[in-house]
A and B are shown apart, each in its own frame.
Chain A
Amino acid sequence: MTIAINKRIYHGRKRANGVFLTLSTLAAGFGLIWLALILYSLFYNGFSGLSLKVFTEMTPPPGQDGGLANAIFGSVVMSLLAVFAGTPIGIMAGTYLAEYGRYSWLSDTVRFINDILLSAPSILIGLFIYVIVVATTHTFSGWAGAAALTVIVIPVVVRTTENMLLLVPNGLREAAAAMGAPRSMIIRAVTWRAARAGMVTGVLLAIARISGETAPLLLTVLSNQFWSTHLGGPIASLPVMIFNFAMSPYEDWHKLAWAGALLITLAVLTLSIIARILESSRKN
């Protein structure tokens, strides 16, 4: 009697487990299939639109041949400016959180706000820079775009810098302090050096993050069909060009949009993979 009941309970639990496992596996399969489909379309359409011309020629008017050279140039310049401006601020702020203010109230506030900025909608950063830069200078400009990207870079660098510095063992700091090194020297010569690979990872992730940002650039730099190195005015950028071309009714512009999307994705993937390798080399 009891054996029969036990058997029924066991079978019930086994069945419930089977259903649960099947559902989880199906969920995983379902999710991964969509992601695979997207990557497939991206690579298929992207590679068929990709040629040497994409890198050497300017964006064309509809119906003509051309490339994305001006857009690639604009993206690279603005991203570099943003990284050069944002990295020092991010590293110093991250250093404060991990070294000086580990237990202060200011750190708690900064950490909280930084995490919110980290996931704040990027279009709001575009509006913010529009109000304080574009509206006051009365012109859309590459500088404004770089400023918007800087605002995105800072929180990424702050977060990784703090995390990496916290991983440095306190024994190293104490050893340096015991030898009479002042605190700033301990940080620069010991903890920064120990955490260097991780901090570089943070900067790479920040570049990956900004290279696909479209909304903030749309509101701050507009775009430009021509080759321009003048950062005081609208210049072309890859994401905005993709946006404009994809929204247009022209077939050959669509092709260039796919090629541009592939370029951005490849850049992002390469950066994340390098970051990952750096991180695993640190762990070993």
Chain B
Amino acid sequence: MADVAYESNPMTVSDSKIAAVKRSGAGDVRFHALTVAAAAIVVLLFLGMMGALTEGAWLSIRTFGASFVTSQKWNPVTEQFGALAAVYGTLVTSVLAMALAVPVGIGIAIFLTEICPRSLRRPIGIAIELLAGIPSIVYGIWGLFVFAPYFQEHIQPWLVDAVADIPVLGTIFEGPPYGIGMFTASFILSIMILPFISAVTRDVFDTVPATLKESAYALGCTTSEVVGSVVLPFSRAGVVGGAMLALGRALGETMAVTFVIGNSHKIHASLFAPGTTISATVANEFTEAVGDIYHSSLIEAGLILFFISFVVLAAAQLMLRILHKRAGGVAA
């Protein structure tokens, strides 16, 4: 064995070298501590958010108690606040937007992974991912300036007449054609989350191992059978998780909704009537609100939104984690 010089004679290691090793050891500890601190900041932000919203909402929680979520009386003049209409609007617009966007989004993902000619897959896929990044205010002003006027003039009156005599549909689609309202808001919302759902679902479909699909095709399955009995069962958790993430976005979306919902604190049976959501209420009224109790009520509405979206997003994370484990660490 060849002798290494400093091993045979440790005394030659100079003091400055020892100091350097010690220094770098101390630097190592400091660096580690810094990263831990940064990670802790992430947790603190979340806890801080929960704490700050609760603190801001405290006055309203104490004043109105449970009636805040059961009353739809929203009167800044008499300082009576109940957020039922906003909660209702938030849930209805989001669910309706999901009902429109999920089937279409999954359709786009199936088209991209199974049907589309190979040479077009990348460009269309990239286009959809880019669209998913467009700020929601763009969807909002398109809804306000382009969609709502057209809808009001050409589609809405016709639709109201067409379904007027049908029992349930007649109630859902009745009333004067304002153009704006719950339906328009849901529609804009669904277009906004569409690229997001497609992009996530396509990624999830891509985690299905090619050999699984190939063996199904080799058994003589048609494309629809491969999708129905191989792709979807394998990626179910991921598709549901992606849809929940989209639902989380829809619930808290502000700008795509605020322009076209009409800001009315009344629950109507008709989807063509104006309504409001929690985020639209906060965006429309917060900076003009006067008085502590008004501010506090708006913050409490935000706190409710915080809890709704926390539950949905947490469920989405769990679903995606299940898929992640099954796909053996393939990024979903």
Contacts and interface: CB of A to CB of B under 8 A. Distances in A.
Interface of A: 13-14, 16-17, 19-21, 23-28, 30-32, 34-35, 37-39, 41-42, 45, 88-93, 95-97, 99-101, 106-107, 109-110, 112-117, 119-128, 130-132, 135, 151, 154-155, 158, 163, 182-185, 187-188, 205, 208-209, 211-215, 218-219, 222, 239, 242-243, 246-247, 254, 257-258, 261, 264-265, 268-269, 272-273, 276
B299 to A, nearest CB: 6
Cβ-closest 7 pairs across A and B: A121-B252, A212-B135, A27-B107, A92-B38, A20-B224, A184-B31, A96-B35
Contacts of A39: 131
A16 B223 CA distance: 10
B130 interface: yes
A213 B331 CA distance: 27
Given A21-B223, A242-B137, A184 B27 contact: yes
A261 B138 contact: yes
Contact of A42 (B133, B142, B253): B142
B135 A265 contact: yes
Interface string B120-157: 00001010111101111111111011100000000000
B83 interface: no
B25 interface: yes
Q: Is the interface of B mostly helix, strand, loop or mixed?
A: helix
Contacts of B86: none
Given A19-B224, A90-B38, A215-B254, 12 more contacts: A17-B223, A24-B108, A27-B104, A30-B104, A42-B142, A120-B309, A121-B251, A123-B279, A127-B302, A131-B55, A215-B279, A219-B282
B255 interface: yes
Interface stretch (B6-14, B40-48, B74-82): B40-48
B99 interface: no
A17 B37 CA distance: 55
Contacts of A96: 35-36, 38-39
A182 B25 contact: yes
A113 to B, nearest CB: 5
A113 B42 contact: yes
B108 A28 contact: yes
7 contacts: A25-B107, A37-B146, A97-B39, A120-B309, A124-B305, A131-B55, A219-B286
Contacts of B212: none
A90 B146 CA distance: 39
Given A21-B115, A96-B35, A184-B31, A41 B135 contact: no
Interface of B: 24-25, 27-28, 30-32, 34-39, 41-43, 45-46, 48-49, 52-53, 55-56, 103-108, 110-112, 114-116, 124, 126, 128-131, 133-142, 144-146, 191, 194-195, 198, 222-225, 227, 245, 248-249, 251-255, 258-259, 279, 282-283, 286-287, 298-299, 302, 305-306, 309-310, 313-314, 316-317, 331
Contact of B39 (A107, A222, A254): A107
Contact of B49 (A128, A135, A268): A128
Contacts of A154: 41-42, 45
A183 B194 CA distance: 44
A26 B224 contact: no
A155 B223 CA distance: 39
Contacts of B55: 131
A101 B302 contact: no
A119 B249 contact: yes
Name the residue among B39, B137, B146, B249 with the largest chain A CB count within 10 angstroms.
Answer: B39
B288 to A, nearest CB: 11
B224 A243 contact: no
Nearest to A97: B39
B148 to A, nearest CB: 12
Contacts of B317: 112, 115-116
A239 B32 CA distance: 39
B287 A219 contact: yes
A135 B286 CA distance: 13
A185 B24 CA distance: 9
Given A246-B259, A257-B141, A272-B133, A121 B224 contact: no
Contacts of A264: 135, 137-138
Contacts of A35: 128, 131, 191, 194-195
A124 B53 contact: yes
A116 B299 contact: no
Contacts of B248: 119-121
Given A110-B43, A123-B283, A128 B48 contact: yes
B107 A23 contact: yes
A89 B35 CA distance: 8
Contacts of A205: 133
A109 B39 CA distance: 10
Nearest to B49: A128
A95 B32 CA distance: 9
B141 A34 contact: no
A113 B43 contact: yes
B138 A38 contact: yes
B42 A110 contact: yes
B309 A128 contact: no
